[in-house]
């Protein structure tokens, strides 16, 4: 973290505020440039983008160490994200309480992509008892392939009704990406989506804080730098 901050020659509070606003609210980079100008701070929109690309991967890594455990019953689905004018697939899951399990951007929607998502989620969050999916054959095939190597198989449920919770949760992400009008590169999409997911998880109370302490979502985001 210290090495990254040393390369950003600007007041840290301004950098963090711009990056947080960008991933927390439906604002474009031009909006942020104008908002900072109203506060007497001259920041080019491309500079804000560069800050986000450098800081968000580091902040996500710190957050992963402070993320609260999720439940053992997952609801998994994918939503669409436009990259270079083409639709890509953001795999996501929440537990039955609505807490984000994990996410993964993939170029294709197939069994290999779904399996990669499940494997990543299990490494990061432990093994679930049950995974609820829609009628996707690819998602079921991925889970069955994972179960083939397990003594205790993960229970697979296919239910559109039970998956409403994750479909509703997608909206918080797509609402934020809409002003971005698509991403120029897959790498850019992956980093910024991780930042958006990070802020969304903080807002849902998924970050461990000091006992008895109840900081705001903004303060929790800034606390990742400390």
What pTM, to 2 d.p., does this model score? 0.93
The CATH classification number of 73-184 equals 3.30.420.10
pLDDT per residue of the chain (226 residues) written in tens, 0 to 9: 555 556 667 788 899 999 999 999 999 999 999 999 999 999 999 999 999 999 999 999 999 999 999 999 999 999 999 999 999 999 999 999 999 999 999 999 999 999 999 999 999 999 999 999 988 899 999 999 999 988 899 999 998 888 899 999 999 999 999 988 789 999 999 999 999 999 999 999 999 986 667 899 999 999 998 7
Q: What is the domain partition of the chain in residue ranges?
A: 2-67+207-223, 73-184
| CA proximity to 41, closest of 22, 8, 13, 20 | 13
Which residues share a beta bridge with 94? 75, 100
| CA proximity to 173, closest of 72, 93, 74, 63 | 93
């Amino acid at each position: 973290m210290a090495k990254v901050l040393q390369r950003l020659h600007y007041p840290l509070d301004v950098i963090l505020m711009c990056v947080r606003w960008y991933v927390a609210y439906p604002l474009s980079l031009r909006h942020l440039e104008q908002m900072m100008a109203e506060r007497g701070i001259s920041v080019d929109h491309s500079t804000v983008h560069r800050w986000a690309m450098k800081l968000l991967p580091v902040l996500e890594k710190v957050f992963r160490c402070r993320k609260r455990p999720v439940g053992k019953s997952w609801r998994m689905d994918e939503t669409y994200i436009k990259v270079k004018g083409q639709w890509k697939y953001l795999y996501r899951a929440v537990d039955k309480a609505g807490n984000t399990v994990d996410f993964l951007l993939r170029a294709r929607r197939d069994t290999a992509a779904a399996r990669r998502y499940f494997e990543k989620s299990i490494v990061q969050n432990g093994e679930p008892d049950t995974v609820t999916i829609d009628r996707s054959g690819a998602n079921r095939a991925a889970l069955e392939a994972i179960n083939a190597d397990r003594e205790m198989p993960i229970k697979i449920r296919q239910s559109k009704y039970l998956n409403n919770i994750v479909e509703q949760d997608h909206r918080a992400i797509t609402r934020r990406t809409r002003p971005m009008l698509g991403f120029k590169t897959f790498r850019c999409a992956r980093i910024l989506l991780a930042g958006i997911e990070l802020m969304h998880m903080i807002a849902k109370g998924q970050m461990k804080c000091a006992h008895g302490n109840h900081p705001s979502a903004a303060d929790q985001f800034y606390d990742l730098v400390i």
